[in-house]
Amino acid sequence: MQRILVTPRSLTASRHPAVERLREFGYEVVYCEAGKAPSEQDLLRLTPDIVGWLAGVEPVSEAVIAGARRLRAISRNGVGVDNLPLAALSQREIALRTAGGANAQGVAELAIGLMFSAIRHIPLADSGIKSGRWPRHIGREIHGRTVGVVGYGAIGREVARLAGALGAKVLACDPLPQAANSDSLVRHVDLETLIAESEIVTLHCPAAADGRPVLSAPQLARCRHGAVIVNTARASLVDDKAMIEALNAGQVATYAVDVFNEEPPRELTLVSDPRVIATAHIGGYTEESVDRATTAAVDNLLEALSGI
C-alpha cells in the first residue's frame, strides 16, 4: 500500500476527517509524533517509502528529499514554501502544491488582535492583576492610526480591510505590481515610506530569497518613535538583535510575534522581554482555517498524485 506522510502539528495532535479520507483512495496515512514538529532525523526515518507528503512549516533539508526515494508530491497546508528545498524538488520533478488563502482569515484576525493587545497593553494588565497589582497603562486607539501592511497577498489584503473598517489609515507595499494595483482602499507606497509613516507595521510577506530580514537595524531606526511591529509571517523577516536594541531605545514600543526561527524557541532573550507579545504560531490555528487548509491540501495532494 502506498504511504502518505502527515507532519503539520495541527493535524498530528488530532485526526482530521479530510486527512483520514486519504485512506478511501487506498493510501496508508503515516503521522509523525503528535503535536511536535519533526526533526531532520525524524524525517529521514519517516520519508524513505512515502509517495505523498502533507507538509507543515517544519524545515526540510535536501538530505531528506534525497532519502525520500519514492516521493512524488508534497502538499502544504498553507502558502509558505521557504522551509522546502525547492531546487531539489524541481530536480527530482516532485510536484509541489500550496493551499493559497486557506488560512488568511485566521492569520489576519490574529494580526488585528495583536495590534489591540499591543496598543491597549492587554498582556501587561492581565499579568499585573494576576500578581496582585493594578496596572493602568494609557493606551491608544486604532481609529485614526496609520497601519502599514508589508505584503499584500490574501492575508495582507484582509488585514488592510479589517484595519480600514476600524478607522485606520492603511498603507501597503508589495513587490508585485498586480498586488499594488488590486484596489484603491489603501495607499500603496514603497517600504521606506511605509516604515517612516506607519505607527503600526504588520508583516505578511514571504521570507527573502537571500534570507535577509525586512526589518533590520537601519529600517527599525527609521520607524516612527514608539511604533508597534506585528509579525505573523516569518521569523526571518525581523533581525532579533536589532529588535532588542530598538525596544531598548524606545524606537519600537511593542513587538508582537507569532513565528520563531526555532519552535518552540529555546533562546528566550527576546520573547521574555515585557515589551514583546509572543504567541505559539497560532495564526492559522483556528477551527475554520484548519478545516479549509486541510481540505485544500488533501484535494491538492490527491490531484497531484493522480496526475503523475
Helix (H, G, I), strand (E, B) or coil at 228: strand
User: DSSP letters along 70-107, please?
Assistant: T--EEEESSS--TTS-HHHHHHHT-EEE--TTTTHHHH
Instruction: Output DSSP code: residue 13.
Output: S
**Is 234 tagged catalytic?**
yes
- Burial (0-12, 13-18, 19+ Cβ within 10 Å), 38: buried
**Is 225 tagged catalytic?**
no
Of 28, 197, 245, 263, the active-site residue reads 263
Of 76, 157, 224, 281, the active-site residue reads 281
Exposure of 31 in the CB half-sphere (CA atoms within 13 A): 17
- Burial (0-12, 13-18, 19+ Cβ within 10 Å), 234: buried
**Is 224 tagged catalytic?**
no
Of 9, 234, 275, 292, the active-site residue reads 234
Which amino acid is present at 181? Answer: N
Which residues belong to the active site?
234, 263, 281
